[in-house]
Amino acid sequence: MSLSNTQIRHLKSLAHHLKPVVRVGQHGIREAVLEELEQALDAHELIKVKVAAEKAERIALIRQLTEASGAQLIQHIGQMAVLFRRNEKKPKVVLPSR
């Protein structure tokens, strides 16, 4: 799903007040982290993920998370990443028209 700039701005504004629901720590991406990510995306569609690692490793970990979950990276600032994946059965986030 391709998002327009207007939709991305809208998602960024919605994510501003969110707390991270998934955390990737010193052990990296494990099966439990991927399961938690799947559950969070299904439940909320728009989530924050905190990745505690050095910059180069953090970028690689965020890329792995987005590829494994099928989510789209909306924003990445420091250790926080905002991911979005539409729940086709029960959509929760209302996106503006393109």
Residue 1 has pLDDT above 70, yes or no: no
Domain coordinates of the chain in residue numbers?
5-84
pLDDT, residue 35, reads: 95
Distance of CA 6 to the CA centre of its chain: 18
For 6, the token pair is: 């207007």
Residue 2 has pLDDT above 90, yes or no: no
Q: What is the mean pLDDT of residues 80-97?
A: 92
Looking at 3.40.50.150, 3.30.360.10, 3.30.110.60, 3.30.930.10, the CATH number of the domain 5-84 comes to 3.30.110.60
Q: Distance (Å, rounded) from C-alpha 41 to C-alpha 47?
A: 7
Distance of CA 26 to the CA centre of its chain: 19
Q: What is the mean pLDDT of residues 34-38?
A: 95
Q: What is the mean pLDDT of residues 50-75?
A: 95
Q: The whole model's pTM is what? A: 0.93
Q: Which amino acid is at 89?
A: K
- CA dist 95 to 8, 69, 86, Å? 9, 20, 10
